[in-house]
Amino acid sequence: MSQTSDVINPATEEVLRTVTHTDEAGVDDAVARARSAQRAWARLAPADRAAALRAFAAVVDAHVEELAQLEVANSGHPIGNARWEAGHVRDVLQYYSASPERLSGKQIPVAGGLDVTFNEPLGVVGVITPWNFPMTIASWGFAPALAAGNAVLVKPAEWTPLTTIRLGELAVEAGLPADLFQVLPGRGSVVGERFVTHPDVRKIVFTGSTEVGMRVMAGAARQVKRVTLELGGKSANIVFDDCDLEKAAATAPYGVFDNSGQDCCARSRILVQRSVFDRFMELFEPAVKGVVVGDPRVEGTEMGPLVSKPHWESVAGYVPDDAPVAFRGEAPSGPGYWFPPTVLTPAPDDRTVTEEIFGPVVTVLPFDDEADAIALANDTPYGLSGSIWTDNLSRALRMSRAVESGNLSVNSHSSVRYTTPFGGFKQSGLGRELGPDAPLSFTETKNVFIAVEEGN
């Protein structure tokens, strides 16, 4: 008997759809079909694979509004954000459609012959995606993997599967072989676990919690299976006294409250130089209270609800009645998993400073000088993202080299561009996604030496 789950609209608490889960036998069947499709896909001329990915991008482009509305309903993302996300999937496909004709390998000078390398596809790749950015993060895995000649199986998060399921349908509509790119909704303990244990799934791309990422990595080790892991974060937004303080305060809410704080790159620790701490807080309060929280279907809404009731309860647990709340923004009452933007000023060792809350809750702490800021910023097992606010170029470069993080922004909160590599230090992950080299992480390097006889 097939297992199912109801997909809930987090803004209304209404059931959107009932989704049938894939069981272990279904995964095994999908892998077998994907293996066959992958062999045919890899035999295609690179230009033909490129054209197929461009066709996929074009079909996504024609369905941007549909995908956006689906994400609003399933994930509670504001419509403006959701349109950007759907367009981002199109752009990622378009970007990696250039890769099949550019995976050129090398010719290496050697004695006695010719030495060349080939970038061979791995085969079948399993992509396990999170619920916070369902379609965008899926595309970071499937687009470069397909470009490199692989087949891809995607397991979307149980709470937010709808846009990924639709992308699977659009891939077939665009002309991709039906078995080459398959979306398999289901439980992580069933579908995700089988990706890890199945010998014909040669790589796992996992985005999610560090705890689960450790289990994926341990399981993959039994088969020496490749992994890319994008895990937790507790990123710092470091504000020095020589920066544009008004701009730093005005933009800080969007560095942490975007997607209701449900973002592994969220700058959820704001570190402010002590000499300007009070002034920053004066400027920060109206910025926080100005964040527009409400119906995600409405143009101009900047923050929607949390994704689910269990997640709301998890976030609320970090803000008990006696929490050191400096100030809060507004949030709707009534149905929906609403949580107001919340600013805390706790002790440096409080769990709100050290643990990933994954909601619209930010801590603000003072620091004295560069050394103090570096020590505070690096006092975490994570190292994914972060921001540095200063008008001193030398300081910006010193801090950028000293902060242990994979993605840093100076005088901004930008983390992700599909043209540049993305990934974390320490327990924030392993490997890199996006950027021009991403398809290579879905290949094996094959070295071939051809002996050449000396002429007369």
Tokens of 18: 């009932």
Nearest of 378, 389, 388, 387 to residue 425 by alpha carbon: 378
- Residue-wise burial string across 200-233, b where 16 or more C-beta atoms lie within 10 A, e elsewhere: ebbbbbbbbebebbeebbebbeeeebbbbbbbbb
| Cα atoms in the 13 Å half-sphere on the side-chain side of 301 | 24
Residue keyed to tokens 């499937």: 142
Does residue 264 carry a catalytic annotation?
A: yes
Q: Tell me which of 264, 265, 356, 433 is the catalytic residue.
A: 264
Strand partners, 154: 127, 183
How far apart are alpha carbons 179 and 97 in whole angstroms? 19
Q: Tell me which of 71, 193, 230, 356 is the catalytic residue.
A: 230
3-state secondary structure 220-255: HHCCCCEEEEECCCCCEEEECCCCCHHHHHHHHHHH
Strand partners, 128: 155, 206
Tokens of 181: 């790119």
Tokens of 323: 């929490």
Identify whether the C-beta of residue 83 lies closer than 8 Å to the C-beta of residue 91: no
Describe the chain by its helix, strand, coil percentages, rounded to 5: 40, 20, 40
Beta sheet of 113-121, edge-to-edge order: 107-108, 113-121, 443-451
Q: Which residues are catalytically annotated?
A: 230, 264
